[in-house]
């Protein structure tokens, strides 16, 4: 039987855990989320001024480079993952990410605002230590559809460029409001 003291200690540890989780979440959001509007802004601007094909490097090189820079500065891992990756080498989810992406899609289908979908958890790492893992949904905006919309609707020269670079591309068929994937962060604790 649990004594009142044990119950009090368990409650205290739950409260401490929740406080740790809250502060990890707040801190992670603050560090990584500002990258997202920067990438989206750069994308919109490049599409408008130079055309869609010229904006391929924004999703291909600029976005990963901005995340890599942030990750190196913090000592975290930051990447993009998707259930239907264009670049499978970089963006194939691991088991935890895959499960979260499936939950994200269900939350979206249940009517949740795609911009607000996120998760943060403390999980056991492969080496037995603890890590904080965070994922934030990346919703499809109208500008994204030019490269991630129905394959047949893509501009011919763009489609050609994408098919040449990504023969196994799965990242088409999306409509605005769908989830393209997620930003995924792993922080050692
Ligand atoms: C100009 C074409 C273009 C536009 C517009 C575009 N993307 Fe991409 N996207 C790409 C390319 C090319 C890749 C593959 C990047 C790589 O090689 O890592 C990609 C990859 C991604 C990935 C990484 C996962 C994967 O499938 O490899 C995500 C997430 C993503 N795009 C989201 C978006 C979102 C959200 C938007 C709109 C804000 C968007 N993209 C607009 C071309 C585009």
Query: Please, are residues 166 and 141 in contact by the beta-carbon 8 Å criterion?
Result: no
Q: What is the pLDDT of residue 15?
A: 74
- Residues of the chain with pLDDT below 50 are none
For residue 10, give both structure tokens: 């368990």
Residue 16 CA to ligand 1 centre (angstroms): 39
Which residue from 83, 148, 173, 176 has its CB within 8 A of the most atoms of ligand 1, so it is best to mutate?
A: 148
Give the predicted TM-score (pTM) of the model: 0.92
Query: Please, are residues 101 and 84 in contact by the beta-carbon 8 Å criterion?
Result: no
Query: Please, are residues 120 and 183 in contact by the beta-carbon 8 Å criterion?
Result: no
The domain tally of the chain equals: 1
Q: What is the pLDDT of residue 1?
A: 60
Q: What is the pLDDT of residue 128?
A: 86
Q: What is the pLDDT of residue 6?
A: 78
- Element of type H or E holding 90: helix 88-91
- Element of type H or E holding 179: strand 179-188
138 CA: nearest ligand 1 atom = 35
* Domain of 72, in residue numbers: 4-188
Residue with tokens 């499809």, as numbered in its chain: 140
Residue with tokens 């540890």, as numbered in its chain: 13
Q: What is the pLDDT of residue 18?
A: 86
């Amino acid at each position: 039987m649990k004594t009142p003291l044990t119950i009090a200690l368990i409650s205290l540890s739950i409260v401490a855990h929740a406080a740790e989780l809250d502060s990890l979440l707040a801190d992670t959001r603050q560090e990584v989320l500002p990258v997202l509007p920067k990438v989206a802004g750069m994308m919109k601007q490049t599409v408008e001024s130079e055309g869609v094909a010229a904006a391929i490097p924004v999703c291909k090189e600029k976005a990963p480079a901005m995340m890599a820079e942030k990750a190196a500065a913090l000592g975290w891992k930051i990447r993009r993952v998707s259930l239907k990756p264009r670049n499978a080498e970089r963006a194939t989810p691991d088991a935890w990410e895959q499960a979260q992406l499936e939950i994200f899609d269900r939350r979206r289908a249940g009517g949740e605002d795609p911009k607000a979908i996120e998760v943060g958890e403390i999980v056991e790492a492969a080496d037995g230590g603890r890590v904080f893992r965070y994922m934030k949904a990346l919703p499809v905006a109208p500008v994204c559809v030019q490269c991630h919309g129905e394959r047949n609707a893509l501009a011919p020269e763009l489609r050609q460029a994408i098919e040449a670079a990504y023969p196994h591309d799965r990242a088409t068929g999306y409509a605005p409001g769908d989830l393209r994937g997620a930003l995924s962060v792993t922080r050692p604790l």
